[in-house]
Amino acid sequence: MQIIVGINNLRFCLLIILQISGWTYAQNWNQITDFPGTQRDDGTSFVIGNTSYCGTGNLPWGVGTIDFYALDMSDDSWNQIASLPAGEERQYACGFSSATHGYIFGGYNAGNFFNDLWQYDPISNTWLEKTPLPDVGRSASAYFVIGDTAYFVCGKTATDYAINEVWAYNMTNDTWQQKNNFPFGNRWRSCGIASPTKGYLIFGKDETFVYPTALYEFDPLTNSWIQISNFPGIGRTHSKAVFYGGNIVLLSGYDSLNISYNDMWRYDLADNLWFQLNAIPAVERRAGMCFTNSVALYYTAGINSSNGKIKETWKNINPTEISENPEELFFDLFPNPANSKVNLTFNQVKNFEILSIIIYDLSGKEIFCESNPGNLKTLEIDVSEFESGTYLINILTTEFSTTKKLIVL
């Protein structure tokens, strides 16, 4: 199990890994054929059936592009398709789809912020211009699709570093409608994700260069937003996210300390828990294209930590699968449930040092912390003042991090 080492104490605390003890993540990353176009970052993609369509982006010499490529996810083969019309080069566009068509909205190129919308027909391999956004152009908006409606949240315009507007585009009627503004501040380069009935937004950067970590949920029926969780690491931009098997899956990104990541995280919507998964192999990266056909997860292109644009394509066929690992059955709780005191017994199978013991409630609030306890065999914790409910006890060692649930009556 890989442990992330922070660059200072605050960062170290933020990067504690939340896992269920006794489980290790068994995702399997495999490198497949490189993205066939010129290496790039800030491209976009959309999925129709079992094919992902990837294009636009920022080329190595700093200009936008219009070319597109299709990845057949049944055999992982690439083919070039029709480009956007000449003159429509861009990066930071939004790519989304209905069951039959793909769409490209907005973006930026050479000082221009676009408000146009293009529809792709995979049968005729052609692009058709649709009704543009009835407002100023914007780039790097978060976006997600619920039913036949695409939602665009926040972004950047020619006059504002970050905005909080929300617009909805109905793909059936080719119409736009402005929704209530995002109520938690302006931001750009956030991640948008959708379940079948709700939308979600996380990360991004505001006009004061703050990188939020809160996860928000949007209800299209009430046109309202609520905060539902906090990411257990540091905030970032240029991340990617997908909805997979009832989970939000986040990958890579770039933080306020100019650090890039190749990590992957899963947020379980049912249990309101975060788990760190196996990172994308090789280099840290950001601003790639990420997509899924609900069977496998893909990540392609982007820019690495040395600011070099890349063409790698990686595939993960079990992005959220878990399996038992007896070596990580590291500590036991007794009694559990508890109402006064709980005893931790440590079953060390290696000579590693315990760096911290922290108890969180399910909102992520720290309730108890024991720093640098060293090599313990047992520890008794008084929980008599805890409110009844479920807690997480996280043990961070010099070799791994592991967590168990604690029930307090």
Q: In the 8-state DSSP scheme, what is residue 262?
A: E
- Whether the CB-CB separation of 296 and 73 falls below 8 Å is answered with yes
Q: Return the closest-CA partner of residue 64 out of 36, 43, 95.
A: 43
CATH of region 326-408: 2.60.40.3080
The structural domains of the chain, with segments of one domain joined by +, span 26-323, 326-408
pLDDT of residue 400: 63
CA distance 67 to 86: 10
pLDDT digits (tens, 9 = 90+) for 170-190: 999 999 999 999 999 999 999
pLDDT of residue 351: 60
From the centroid of its chain, how far is CA 400?
22
* Gyration radius of the chain over CA positions: 22
Burial label for 87, CB within 10 Å (0-12, 13-18, 19+), is: exposed
Q: Return the closest-CA partner of residue 287 out of 244, 237, 243, 250.
A: 237
pLDDT of residue 349: 47
Number of CB atoms found within 10 A of residue 98's CB: 16
Task: Give residue for tokens 């920022």.
Answer: 58
Integer distance in angstroms from the first to the last C-alpha of the chain? 32
pLDDT of residue 372: 83
- Tens of each residue's pLDDT in the chain, 409 residues: 333 333 333 333 333 333 333 333 445 899 999 999 999 999 999 999 999 999 999 999 999 999 999 999 999 999 999 999 999 999 999 999 999 999 999 999 999 999 999 999 999 999 999 999 999 999 999 999 999 999 999 999 999 999 999 999 999 999 999 999 999 999 999 999 999 999 999 999 999 999 999 999 999 999 999 999 999 888 999 999 999 989 999 999 999 989 999 999 999 898 788 888 888 998 999 999 999 999 999 999 999 999 999 999 999 987 775 433 433 446 778 898 999 999 988 765 456 678 889 898 877 788 999 988 877 778 999 999 999 998 888 787 776 667 778 899 9
pLDDT of residue 332: 78
Q: Return the closest-CA partner of residue 233 out of 186, 267, 199.
A: 267
26-323 and 326-408 in the same fold: no
pLDDT of residue 350: 53
Contacts of 332-335 with CB under 8 Å at 24 or more apart are 333/393, 333/404, 333/406
pLDDT of residue 41: 98
pLDDT digits (tens, 9 = 90+) for 66-101: 999 999 999 999 999 999 999 999 999 999 999 999
Q: Give me the half-sphere count of Cα atoms (radius 13 Å) on the Cβ side of residue 275.
A: 27
Which strands sit side by side in the sheet containing 94-97, from one edge to the other?
94-97, 102-109, 112-121, 126-130
pLDDT digits (tens, 9 = 90+) for 117-144: 999 999 999 999 999 999 999 999 999 9
Q: What is the pTM of this model?
A: 0.76
Facing residues of 227 across strands? 216
26-323 under CATH 2.60.40.3950, yes or no: no
